[in-house]
Amino acid sequence: MMIDWYIEQVFAARTWKLRKEVFSAKGNLSEVMLDEDFEASHFAAYSIDDVIGILTLRRSGDAYEILYFAVHPDFRNLGAGSALLRYAQQFVHTVGGNQLYVRPPVDQSDFWIKRGYSPLMESGKIAIFVYHLKGDVLQDENGTQR
């Protein structure tokens, strides 16, 4: 299936609907809103005018944490998630950051490892995955320099 989609940086509110659908379908919107939402950086993947994927970053010094990352179930495994990650990596690189990190559910470990994120252990368990930006060169999920 060919999907015509694009990615752009957006305001926090543009990410809330998909966050709620993916992370708290039966809960309240407030459960997926962050106190620091308006200081964070947000990105959305669109198909026509519909948000099909979101990624939210919070800065901590030279590092950025991925707080929310989701793709609508109907659009998974079509490349939108990987494209959102590459877009976020380019953003972090452009603003002078040197790494991204994420605290994903255990069942998503393979996704992050495949995209070049290194697991860090804490108390014998994987606590976070870290991606180090390398100079002016970013790598795709296959380790290919772009």
Note the pLDDT tens digit of each residue in 108-146. Answer: 999 999 999 999 988 888 889 999 997 654 445 455 544
User: For domain 5-102, which CATH number applies: 3.40.50.1100, 3.40.50.12240, 3.30.2270.10, 3.40.630.30?
Assistant: 3.40.630.30
Predicted model pTM: 0.85
* Pair of tokens at residue 139: 């790598």
How confident is the model at residue 124, as a pLDDT? 85
Residues 6+ apart with CB under 8 A from 76: none
Region label for 54, one of left (φ > 0), alpha (ψ between -120 and 50) or beta (otherwise)? beta
Looking at the predicted structure, is the pLDDT value of residue 26 above 90?
yes
61-70: pLDDT as tens digits: 999 999 999 9
How confident is the model at residue 4, as a pLDDT? 78
Domain ranges of the chain: 5-102
68-106: pLDDT as tens digits: 999 999 999 999 999 999 999 999 999 999 999 999 988
Q: What is the Cα–Cα distance from 145 to 137, expressed in whole angstroms?
A: 6
